[in-house]
A and B are shown apart, each in its own frame.
Chain A
Amino acid sequence: MTITPRAMGVAVDRFDGAAKVRGEARYAYEQPVDRPLYLYPLTAAVATGRIADIDCGAASAEPGVVAVLTYRNATRTAAIEDGELRILQSDEVAFRGQFIGGVVAETSEIARHAVSLVRVDYEERPHDVELREGRGDLRVPREVQPIFPMDTAEGDVDAALASAPVRVDQTYTTAWNNHNPIEPHTTIATWTGDRFTFYLSTQGVNGIQAAVAALFELGPDRVRVISPYVGGAFGSKARPHADVVLAALAARLVPDRPVKFALTRQQMFSQVGYRPPTVQRVRLGADAGGRLVALAHESIEPTSKLQEFAEHSTRATPTMYAAPNRRTRQRLAALDVPTPTIMRAPGEASGMFALESAMDEMAIACGLDPIEFRIRNDAQRHPHFGLPFSSRNLVACLREGARRFGWDGRDPTPGIRRTAGWLVGTGVAAATYPVLRLPGSMATIRVGPDERYTVLIAAADIGTGTWTALSQVAADALGVRVEQIDLRIGDTAYPKASNEGGSSGITSWGSAICEAADRLRDELARHGGAVPADGLEVTAAMPENPHISRYAMHAFGAQFAEVRVHAEIGEVRVRRQLGVFAVGRVVNPKTARSQLLGGMTMGLSMALHEQSVFDPRFAQVVTQDLATYHIASNADVGAVEVHWIDEDDPYVNPMGTKGVGEIGIVGAAAAIANAVHHATGVRVRDLPITLDKLLPAA
């Protein structure tokens, strides 16, 4: 079932790199279309209530305005479950900033100006937007992935905690984070005759196709979605959001004319989801030998009233450490806010900040080195499922990282290293991410007598290099050179593919391609080994993986950080980050390294900077641009070293890969917070670690 690596493992330059650098790669919004119109949205100015009246007179009269869209003239869409997509169906307002209409005009400037001329009167209702621990209406989220239950329990946690000689009981919080890919969400929607064509920036053309088909009650064959290049996504482009629906509704009003729609940076803060803030309580109990006897991790988060989403921040916990008594609990409060969504390592990124900070606190409480403490508590079998791991190299990552980082001989005493006014400290944290495979991918392979292989799959490359890496997989699956492969992605005209998400792309799409390659070999054998004159074509679906029920499949890693904290001013500078990962086979060392490095950088950003300030009075993120929502700048990023260990896992998939897109962010914030503690003696449990938290009190 495994394929032999020849192209895999080679640092092939990304195929689209040069075109992107030269500006020749045409992104969705830049596709040449005939006689385009431009859409600008009208957004709700209250958090909850109903629209009492809309006066579009002045906007309609503006020269260049072609249509003004409101719930009054919008196409009635089907009552699908995802309330986030059911816009313009009534006069109700569910959150501030929600799309309640739009103007379609000959230029984007006219459209934007005309929107400011629309007068809306509201009947406002009081809104409920505050996440608090004591809320009576906290609920257990619906299970999205039954293999990771929302709540888990084993043994008697309370009794074990009560009798444990060493205890840690702390609450950690993470901030509201917003996705800010360079390319905002963009769409060109055209309604012609009885069908839609979309160019858009997405992590999954088939997901968009399915949502639009369902909403407008069309056969999927009447919705074509093309996503040529994607300028970053981080999860915001994984599921369809209301921007696509608004563009589609607008296109319905102006048949045959392409409607172009790009969100502004400000709109990105309310329209495309976000990583919800979390409040997490972690309780650990250990015996005198530094072995965990109890572990409880509880998280509460907001979701919207429109559509449930849970940042499953306790998800990684039952995978990490062997404690006989364990409990995880996940609770949600449904508020009058925009709907949160997946953002790079949803769950793990926030949850492992809490767990790995608590592990550091516990190591200190036990008087143990934090690496040694983790090694003592490493799980041999999956603590929750009881299954062996297909491969688990957390300890190897910690050891290799310690060696490369220069951890040995570290004095654990906090607050004693100083250089030129800066306090110096080092920290470590573990990382993990599950090997996910999403169902539903198919691939077609065509070969002609010229021995060129065309591989078709509606997969997505969101800037990660997947297009290139997947071509390497195809080459090895077929036993040919990469140059013989012409892989095409990003179009619903190709066989259906699962979304890009959960670091599952190579696993899911690669498995489908391997299966198709097998079939093609069978076909070739049937033709006596030679490609017939009119070529061959096969299509295959991703097969089941029989090992899934026998093994727990996870990637692991170890994150190290060295920080300096200004002793008088509290500024934090991360001098070094070092990550060692066990992610199975690395298909393309160059693009994989970029993914891990990007993840670690995003983790630094999450640790020190990223925070959407939500003003409850206005029910709105008020830091809604890149001058107030800070992302790590180049100057914030120190030396970043990325390593991986050789890991041969025959069970995960035919390639032996585990996914590299997300694990890089996991644990990075905890490593930095732990290093800040080592530097200063101050334990910051609330992200981001801003300088006010480290400024000396006197």
Chain B
Amino acid sequence: MRPFRYERANDVSGAVALLAGTPNGAFLGGGTNLVDLMRLDVARPELLVDVRRLTSDRIEELPDGRVRVGAAVPNSDLAADPLIRARYPAVSEALLSGASGQLRNLATTGGNLLQRTRCVYFQNVSTPCNKRDPGAGCSAIDGHHWDLAILGASEACVATHPSDLAVALVALDAVVLTEGADGERRIPITELHRLPDREPHRDTILQHGELITAVELPPLPWATRSRYRKVRDRASYAFALVSAVVVLDTADGVVRDVRIGLGGVAHRPWRALVAEQALRGGPATEERFRQAAEAELAAARPLPGNAFKVRLARNTLVRTLLDVNEGRR
């Protein structure tokens, strides 16, 4: 672990300014990801700006029905919040399926979205990695494929985004509020995370020193009919091999509207627009669900060691659609 400075700014603009002036600095949330990466020598910030007291740790309902979640809200609080559980149960399920109770107590909403990939080569400084060290090469493409992407990858990087929460949020069209050197922004979460293309070292479109202050969930009355289904290597305490979130609105056996997110399949939490399109207005049947899943995954380009994930993602999505449709939890 390298020596670093630790600071606590007094206000958001101060924090942003502090970091803007330190190219090699980072915001610190719960530290459950960043501090691990520092120990592993993957992250080498010379300055940490603790932002937990800067942003809100409250969940509030706005007059127009939006729900605003402060960036400092711990994952455990967000999962347990009655409003979230009632209106957006998939958010709660996604959070509770992740990490452990202790980690969720520490982890923040902002930090969760910006956690870095669990690609084993990224986390091991003795193996080349374009994300860690641009231009060094990707060790994963010819290596251990188990956790890697099947959608949207590039020759430079085939890593996946590990957050469960983010998958639920992309399906719900959440908006991320930020403040940076250039002022405030409202970023649809579907645009926050990037595909790797030729710049895998950039996980998101955020600028250096741009602080996440809150996440907003738009009103979506039918989001009560939703489910987060996570498939992993063991029953608990593991990242998603594949996960699916489904929000479904049906009437008389016909899909009125649907939102689908997939996790563990790409460099970003995957919004399954093709499948949604295929389902809207059609009958809510297993056959249609399967066709929609296959349409979404037609673009999949798996590696030899994770070809099974295409079938796994399809079956998981179909099963989740069926479960939500049939009202099974």
- A: residues with CB less than 8 A from B are 45, 109, 112-113, 116, 266, 421, 568-571, 573, 608-609, 613, 615, 617-618, 620, 622-625, 627-628, 630, 632-636, 690-692, 695-697
A116 and B1 alpha carbons, distance in the complex (Å): 9
**Complex A-B: 19 CB contacts under 8 Å:** A112-B1, A569-B316, A571-B235, A608-B234, A609-B233, A620-B126, A622-B127, A624-B120, A627-B118, A630-B234, A633-B234, A635-B237, A636-B235, A691-B233, A691-B241, A691-B312, A692-B308, A692-B312, A695-B308
- Residue contact B143 to A622, C-beta cutoff 8 Å: yes
A635 and B143 alpha carbons, distance in the complex (Å): 30
- Residue contact B124 to A624, C-beta cutoff 8 Å: yes
Determine if B221 is an interface residue (Cβ-Cβ < 8 Å): no
Chain B positions within 8 Å of A573 at CB level: 235
- Residue contact B1 to A633, C-beta cutoff 8 Å: no
Interface residues of B in 129-148 (CB under 8 A from A): 139, 142-144, 146-147
A569 and B127 alpha carbons, distance in the complex (Å): 33
A370 and B136 alpha carbons, distance in the complex (Å): 55
Interface residues of B in 1-59 (CB under 8 A from A): 1-3, 40-41
Determine if B238 is an interface residue (Cβ-Cβ < 8 Å): yes
The chain B residue sitting closest to A623, CB to CB, is B120
Of the residues A109, A112, A609, A617, contact of B143 by C-beta under 8 Å? A617
Chain A positions within 8 Å of B118 at CB level: 627-628
Would A622 and B231 be within 8 Å (CB), given that A635-B236, A691-B312 are in contact?
A: no
Min Cβ gap A548→B in Å is 43
- Residue contact B315 to A695, C-beta cutoff 8 Å: yes
- Residue contact B231 to A569, C-beta cutoff 8 Å: yes
- Residue contact A113 to B315, C-beta cutoff 8 Å: no
- Residue contact B144 to A623, C-beta cutoff 8 Å: yes
Determine if B201 is an interface residue (Cβ-Cβ < 8 Å): no
Would A569 and B315 be within 8 Å (CB), given that A608-B234, A632-B234 are in contact?
A: yes
Chain A positions within 8 Å of B241 at CB level: 691
The chain A residue sitting closest to B128, CB to CB, is A618
Q: Which of A109, A112, A633 has the most CB of B within 10 A?
A: A633
Chain A positions within 8 Å of B3 at CB level: 109, 113
Min Cβ gap B240→A in Å is 12
Chain B positions within 8 Å of A627 at CB level: 118, 238-239
B139-163 near A? 1/0 per residue, CB < 8 Å:
1001110110000000000000000
A112 and B312 alpha carbons, distance in the complex (Å): 42
Min Cβ gap B142→A in Å is 7
A109 and B3 alpha carbons, distance in the complex (Å): 8
Min Cβ gap B285→A in Å is 16
A569 and B242 alpha carbons, distance in the complex (Å): 10
With A628-B120, A692-B312, A697-B311 given, can you name 16 additional A-B contacts, CB distance below 8 Å? A45-B126, A109-B1, A112-B1, A569-B231, A569-B316, A613-B146, A617-B142, A618-B126, A620-B124, A630-B234, A635-B236, A635-B237, A691-B231, A691-B233, A691-B241, A696-B311
Min Cβ gap B327→A in Å is 14
Tally B residues with Cβ within 8 Å of A.
34
- Residue contact A571 to B231, C-beta cutoff 8 Å: yes
Determine if B121 is an interface residue (Cβ-Cβ < 8 Å): yes
The chain A residue sitting closest to B309, CB to CB, is A692
Of the residues B41, B121, B308, B311, contact of A622 by C-beta under 8 Å? B121
The 6 closest A-B pairs by CB, nearest first: A635-B236, A635-B235, A692-B308, A568-B315, A622-B120, A633-B236
The chain B residue sitting closest to A108, CB to CB, is B1
A390 and B146 alpha carbons, distance in the complex (Å): 48
The chain B residue sitting closest to A698, CB to CB, is B311
Chain B positions within 8 Å of A609 at CB level: 233-234
A568 and B118 alpha carbons, distance in the complex (Å): 26
Determine if B94 is an interface residue (Cβ-Cβ < 8 Å): no
Min Cβ gap B228→A in Å is 15
Chain B positions within 8 Å of A623 at CB level: 120, 144
- Residue contact A622 to B126, C-beta cutoff 8 Å: no
- Residue contact B312 to A570, C-beta cutoff 8 Å: yes
Interface residues of B in 248-279 (CB under 8 A from A): none
- B: residues with CB less than 8 A from A are 1-3, 40-41, 118, 120-121, 123-124, 126-127, 139, 142-144, 146-147, 231, 233-239, 241, 308, 311-312, 315-316, 318-319
Q: Which of B231, B233, B239 has the most CB of A within 10 A?
A: B233
Min Cβ gap A676→B in Å is 15
The chain B residue sitting closest to A636, CB to CB, is B235
The chain A residue sitting closest to B41, CB to CB, is A116
The chain A residue sitting closest to B236, CB to CB, is A635
Chain A positions within 8 Å of B124 at CB level: 266, 620, 622, 624
Of the residues B120, B239, B319, contact of A569 by C-beta under 8 Å? B319
Min Cβ gap A136→B in Å is 27
A608 and B231 alpha carbons, distance in the complex (Å): 14
The chain B residue sitting closest to A97, CB to CB, is B126
Chain B positions within 8 Å of A266 at CB level: 40, 124
The chain B residue sitting closest to A110, CB to CB, is B3
A697 and B315 alpha carbons, distance in the complex (Å): 11
Chain A positions within 8 Å of B238 at CB level: 627, 630, 633
- Residue contact A634 to B236, C-beta cutoff 8 Å: yes
Min Cβ gap A627→B in Å is 7
Min Cβ gap A564→B in Å is 11
Of the residues A569, A625, A634, A635, contact of B312 by C-beta under 8 Å? A569
Chain B positions within 8 Å of A695 at CB level: 308, 311-312, 315
Chain B positions within 8 Å of A622 at CB level: 120-121, 124, 127, 143-144
The chain B residue sitting closest to A62, CB to CB, is B3
Would A615 and B312 be within 8 Å (CB), given that A113-B1, A633-B235, A690-B233 are in contact?
A: no
Chain A positions within 8 Å of B143 at CB level: 615, 617, 622
- Residue contact B1 to A636, C-beta cutoff 8 Å: no
A608 and B312 alpha carbons, distance in the complex (Å): 18
Q: Which of A570, A613, A627, A695 has the most CB of B within 10 A?
A: A627
- Residue contact A636 to B315, C-beta cutoff 8 Å: no
Q: Which of B124, B147, B234, B308 has the most CB of A within 10 A?
A: B234
A608 and B235 alpha carbons, distance in the complex (Å): 11
A622 and B148 alpha carbons, distance in the complex (Å): 14
Q: Which of A569, A624, A635 has the most CB of B within 10 A?
A: A569
- Residue contact A568 to B234, C-beta cutoff 8 Å: no
Q: Which of B40, B147, B235, B311 has the most CB of A within 10 A?
A: B235
Chain B positions within 8 Å of A635 at CB level: 234-237
A266 and B143 alpha carbons, distance in the complex (Å): 19
A690 and B239 alpha carbons, distance in the complex (Å): 15
A259 and B315 alpha carbons, distance in the complex (Å): 55
The chain A residue sitting closest to B307, CB to CB, is A692
Min Cβ gap B16→A in Å is 29
The chain B residue sitting closest to A632, CB to CB, is B234
Chain B positions within 8 Å of A615 at CB level: 127, 139, 143-144
Min Cβ gap B315→A in Å is 4
Chain B positions within 8 Å of A568 at CB level: 315, 318-319
Min Cβ gap B214→A in Å is 29
A617 and B139 alpha carbons, distance in the complex (Å): 9
- Residue contact A636 to B308, C-beta cutoff 8 Å: no
Chain B positions within 8 Å of A636 at CB level: 234-236
Min Cβ gap B204→A in Å is 22
Chain A positions within 8 Å of B147 at CB level: 628
Chain A positions within 8 Å of B233 at CB level: 609, 630, 690-691
- Residue contact A696 to B2, C-beta cutoff 8 Å: no
- Residue contact B127 to A618, C-beta cutoff 8 Å: yes
Chain A positions within 8 Å of B40 at CB level: 266
Min Cβ gap B116→A in Å is 13
A630 and B238 alpha carbons, distance in the complex (Å): 8
Chain B positions within 8 Å of A628 at CB level: 118, 120, 147
Min Cβ gap A396→B in Å is 34
A694 and B308 alpha carbons, distance in the complex (Å): 10
A696 and B290 alpha carbons, distance in the complex (Å): 14
A690 and B318 alpha carbons, distance in the complex (Å): 21
Min Cβ gap B292→A in Å is 16
Min Cβ gap A468→B in Å is 31
Chain A positions within 8 Å of B231 at CB level: 569, 571, 691
